[in-house]
Amino acid sequence: MSEISMAQALNAALRDAVKDDDRVLIFGEDVGPLGGVFRVTDGITADFGEERCFDTPLAESGIVGFAVGMAMGGFRPVVEMQFDAFAYPAFEQITSHVAKLRNRTRGALSLPMVIRIPYAGGIGGVEHHCDSSEAYYTHTPGLRVVTPGTPQDAYDLLRDAIDSPDPVIFLEPKCRYWSKEPVSFTREGAAMDRAVVRREGKDVTLIAYGPMVATALETAEAATAEGWDVEVVDLRSLSPFDDETVAASVRRTGRAVVVHEAAGFGGYGAEVVARITEQCFHQLHAPVLRVTGLDIPYPPPKLERHQLPDVDRILDTVARLQWNDEPVVAGA
């Protein structure tokens, strides 16, 4: 296995998909000769030609609308939105057409397409370049929403997303593009809709996804100094949600903290907390807590560190989990 970055793993996944399936097309703003803002599509146009990887006008609604037509015509388009908040002009296309066409046609038409969105913060960008928009998409039935937390998952999940018969929102954590690890191209990892336990522990479950997976693992290591044995669950698939893996972990540990960059109010973590509470109530030793971004528009680069959950904030939250109390008993 070669040690490569997440951006390189995504590039390899796109290359292999284009090579293996003539129906796969890659297009978006600056994805052609430039190779994308983050160089995820670097060299693909040169190696496979402009008919397989090409630039489009700066019109996100047009990009997604074009992809809808291509998918209806039998192709498998993979489009890039360049930055998270740049995708909002295409939101009507995504929610009204991409998510609903299979249902609208009673299964006669499907849209096997992938919408790649570099998302979240950690790169010192300004507000239209560092948004965490996952809750908008997970709230929309008809869409699969996935996000890798490691280079290996970047490769595996993107290959699975391109092969999926359903439309997939593929959220790429920008701050992890340059993280590296050995990557195998055998596609032997977990299925696209399954969460995975990244670190086993017995005292508390940290639930994270995308950019926060590495932060959760760092926190788990730091927690040993406090005497806490922390389990880390990487959701990978935000929709559909893997209740089985998450609930099994929380039932083992009896405590849970959900971590994400997006704002807390109405955020994705609220759904995770609700599902855990409904399914694991009698095994919980404390209320399920969240560590999230602030309920504000994304701050300027010099203030970004205050917005992003970090090890200290997560450890402070773990400390609030009623370690000296008896387990909660229904009706008590």
Active-site residue set? 129
For 105-167, where are the E strands, in sequence order? Answer: 114-119, 144-146
**Cβ-Cβ contacts under 8 Å for 161 (sequence gap 6 or more):** 114, 144, 146, 168, 170, 192
**Single-letter code of the amino acid located at 85:** A
Cα 322 to Cα 285: distance, rounded to the nearest angstrom: 7
Nearest to 110, CA basis, from 169, 43, 164, 181 = 164
199 — phi, psi (to 5°)? -150, 130
Alpha-helix residue ranges (DSSP H) falling in the chain: 6-20, 44-48, 60-72, 91-93, 101-104, 134-138, 151-163, 212-223, 243-253, 268-280, 304-307, 311-318
Cα 114 to Cα 132: distance, rounded to the nearest angstrom: 18
